């Protein structure tokens, strides 16, 4: 049973907005594209892995969890809950070859033959397992076996390791073999530790304590407001800025017309600068010359606000 679905993270949505609006000559533009490409590949890899979980409808499935670990956070791609055990899945979409040596150091060889040091995914998933056990103890959740797997969602990823490195075969699998690995755990853990009611309660606690990551990417990539291209964009061809004529947004490139294209642009504003916006900021970001038009559009959105008519601050919906 799917309890928490997988969606694009706020980080990916912010990267998409920055890529769309950042001036092309900015020195960090290629870095933005690289990070976005890598994170989108990971996101779609995780989605493709979900296909192999369909036969296990008796499990409660939660995707994209981010929970507190003392003074920091830990993230779980997918968590499977059953009355007998919990299973963490760390999904990786990796191209090329991963080579594990006898010291558990990892080298990645890309398809073009170049090499790089690579973070050991086994260490990562073991830390997640440890953090989850600690989190459950802090929240007074009864003890239950917790296991973890690294799942390679790219079927072409090659894994090499010496026979002495038993952890590689223990912790790493490819998506097509995930079902067999889960069946092994089902045979291993027979005793029911939780009731279905307890599983439901645990799911609610996990969702309640989930804290989405919301990084300040403008600060991280040293992007200033003047580097951001302003204006309403066309949701059909992504041309920017579209024009407003007789109460309608009109795209001069593809001729698409819509009354509410400004809603997506305001979502961009919220992702980049926060959810508080004034009439002047609205005019500036949407490239509107009329404050009266801006006031009417803001009024039609029925937004919460504070302050009088002069200097009023409107509250945009929180990005999800």
Q: Please tell me the distance from the alpha carbon of residue 234 to that of residue 251, in angstroms, as a whole number.
A: 6
- In tens, the pLDDT along 128-180 reads 999 999 999 999 999 999 999 999 999 899 999 998 888 999 999 999 999 99
What 3-state class would DSSP assign to 238?
A: coil
**Percent residues over pLDDT 70 in the chain:** 100
Residue for token digits 């009355």? 83
- In tens, the pLDDT along 271-306 reads 999 999 999 999 999 999 888 898 899 889 989 988
pLDDT at 34: 95
Q: Residue 75 region, left (φ>0) first, then alpha (ψ -120 to 50), else beta?
A: beta
* Structural domains for the chain: 2-209 (no CATH), 230-315 (1.10.10)
Tokens of 144: 């239950």
Q: Please tell me the distance from the alpha carbon of residue 75 to that of residue 67, in angstroms, as a whole number.
A: 6
- In tens, the pLDDT along 13-53 reads 999 999 999 999 999 999 999 999 999 999 999 999 998 99
Q: Please tell me the distance from the alpha carbon of residue 116 to that of residue 106, in angstroms, as a whole number.
A: 9
- Tell me the pTM: 0.88
Tokens of 36: 């976005």
Length of the chain measured in residues: 320
Residue 309 pLDDT greater than 70, yes or no: no
Q: Please tell me the distance from the alpha carbon of residue 311 to that of residue 182, in angstroms, as a whole number.
A: 58
Residue 202 pLDDT greater than 70, yes or no: yes
């Amino acid at each position: 049973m799917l309890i928490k679905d997988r969606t694009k993270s706020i980080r990916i949505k912010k990267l998409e907005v920055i890529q769309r609006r950042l001036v092309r000559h900015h020195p960090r533009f290629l870095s933005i594209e690289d990070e976005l490409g890598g994170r989108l590949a990971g996101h779609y890899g995780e989605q493709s892995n979900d296909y192999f979980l369909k036969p296990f409808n008796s499990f409660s499935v939660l995707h994209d969890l981010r929970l507190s670990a003392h003074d920091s956070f830990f993230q779980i791609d997918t968590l499977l809950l059953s009355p007998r055990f919990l299973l963490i899945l760390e999904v990786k979409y990796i191209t090329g070859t991963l080579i594990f040596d006898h010291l558990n150091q990892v080298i990645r060889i890309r398809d073009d033959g170049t090499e790089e040091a690579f973070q050991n995914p086994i260490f990562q998933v073991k830390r997640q397992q440890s953090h989850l056990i600690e989190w459950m103890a802090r929240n007074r959740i009864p003890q239950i076996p917790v296991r973890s797997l690294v799942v390679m969602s790219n079927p072409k990823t090659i894994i090499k390791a010496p026979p002495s490195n038993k952890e590689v075969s223990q912790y790493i699998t490819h998506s097509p073999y995930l079902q067999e690995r889960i069946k092994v755990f089902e045979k291993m853990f027979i005793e029911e530790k939780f009731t279905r009611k307890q599983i439901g309660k645990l799911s609610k606690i996990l969702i309640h304590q989930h804290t989405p990551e919301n990084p300040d990417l403008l600060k991280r990539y040293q992007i200033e407001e003047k580097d951001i291209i302003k204006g309403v964009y066309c949701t059909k061809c992504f041309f920017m800025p579209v024009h407003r004529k007789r109460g309608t947004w009109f795209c001069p490139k593809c001729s698409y017309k819509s009354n509410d294209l400004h809603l997506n642009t305001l979502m961009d504003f919220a992702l980049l600068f926060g959810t508080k916006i004034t009439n002047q900021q609205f005019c500036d970001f949407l490239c509107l010359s009329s404050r009266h038009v801006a006031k009417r559009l803001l009024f039609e959105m029925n937004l919460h606000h504070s302050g009088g008519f002069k200097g009023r601050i409107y509250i945009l919906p929180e990005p999800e």
